[in-house]
Amino acid sequence: MRKGAVVDGASIPRWAWSIIGGPWEGPYRNASVIHDWYCSVRTQPWKAVHKMFHQGMMASGVSSAKARIMYLAVLYGGPRWDELTMRNSRLLSAEMRRVNPEVFEAMSSANASLSIGNVTDAEAKLASAKTAMRTNGDQFAVASLARNIALSKNDKATASTAIEAMVVSGVPDDKALASLQFERARLAYEQGDFSVAAQNAQNSLAANFSEDAAQFLATLKRQNPAAVGGSTKSTPEFEPTEIEFQRLANIVESEDMSPEQIEKLVDDLREPSRE
C-alpha cells in the first residue's frame, strides 16, 4: 500500500453512518478499504472510484438496495477531485523520481555559470540537459533550471511556462506544489494577467493553505473582482510545455516506439481522467 495513503472509512461521509452503517460493518468492508485507498491517493477519476465501490459491494454480496444507498452516499457527499490533482498524485516510482547523472552534471555546471552571471553558458548547459531527460525527476530539474535562467533575464513568461513543467512533472508534494503555483500567480500578476494570477492562487490554496496566498487572492479580488470571479473552473485546462514535450520525445526516440505506443503515451498523459 502506498505510504501516506489513509484507510479510515472517511471516504464514506460520517453523517451517513447512522443511516447505512459504518464502513467496517457488514460484507462491504473490503469494498470500503479499496474505496478509502483510492480516495486517498486520488490517481483515478472520482466517478470511476465511486462506481468501483458500488461494483465491489455487489461482488461482496451486499444487497442491491443497500449497495445503491451506499453508492448514493459517496456520490452525494464523498470526496471529489479534478484532473490536476490526479496528475500530481500519480504514483511515481523511485526510478522515475531519479535525476539521471547526465542531467545532474549539466544542472550543476549551469547553476555554477548562473552564479557568476554567465547566462549564455547556462543556456548551453540547459540545452544539453534537455536532450538527456528521461524521468519525471529529470523534467522537474530541467524545468527548475529553465525557470532560474528565465528569471535572471527577467523573462517572466518563460519562467511561468517552466514552472508549469515543474508542476505537471508529478514530483512536487502538496507544499511544494502550492509554492510553485503561488509563484506562478505572482508572475502572472506582474504581467497583468489577473485571471491566470487568480486561478493559480486558488490552486495554491487548494494544494496547501498559506496566509500569503490567501492575502494575495483577497487583494487581487479587491483590485479586480472580475478576474477572481472568472477563475472558478474546477479543472484547469491541459497546458503543454516545451520541456515536457522534449522529455517525451527523448523517450519515443530511445525506445523506438511504434505509432500505437506513442498514442498510448500521449493518451496516458493528456487523459488521465478517462473512464
Residues 98 and 190 occupy one common structural domain: yes
Give 185 or 46, the one with higher predicted confidence: 185
CA distance 75 to 65: 15
Question: From CA 208, how far away is CA 205, in angstroms rounded?
Answer: 5
Pair (44, 114) in one structural domain: no
In a shared domain, residues 126 and 176: yes
* Domains identified in the chain, total number: 2
Angle 266-270-271 (CA atoms, 0-180°, nearest 5)?
A: 110
Q: Is residue 3 part of a domain?
A: no
Residue with cell 518563460: 158
Do 37 and 146 have their domain in common? no
**Comparing C-alpha atoms, which of 73, 65, 81, 75 is closest to residue 23?**
73
What is the per-residue pLDDT across 12-39, written as a single tens digit (0 to 9) for each?
A: 666 555 555 655 556 667 777 777 777 7
Is residue 162 located within the same domain as residue 71? no
* Residue 57 lies inside a defined structural domain of this protein: yes
Cβ 178 vs Cβ 205: under 8 Å: yes
Q: pTM above the 0.75 mark?
A: no
Q: What distance in Å separates the CA atoms of residue 58 and residue 268, rounded to the nearest whole number?
A: 29
pLDDT tens profile 103-134: 998 988 998 898 899 999 999 999 999 999 99
Ramachandran class of 6: left when φ > 0, alpha when ψ lies in -120 to 50, beta otherwise: beta
* pLDDT at residue 151, rounded to an integer: 94
For residues 192-203, average pLDDT: 92
234 is a domain residue: no
Q: Which domain holds residue 43?
A: 14-81
Residue 27 DSSP code: G
Domain boundary among 59, 81, 103: 81
Stretch 243-257: mean pLDDT: 81
Burial 155-183 (b: 16+ CB within 10 A, else e): ebebbbbbbbbbbbbbbbeeebbbbbbbb
- What is the reported pLDDT for 236? 53
Tell me, yes or no, whether 54 and 109 share the same domain.
no
Q: Would you state the pLDDT for residue 92?
A: 63
Residues of the chain with pLDDT > 90, as a percent, come to 31
Are residues 74 and 100 both part of a single domain?
no
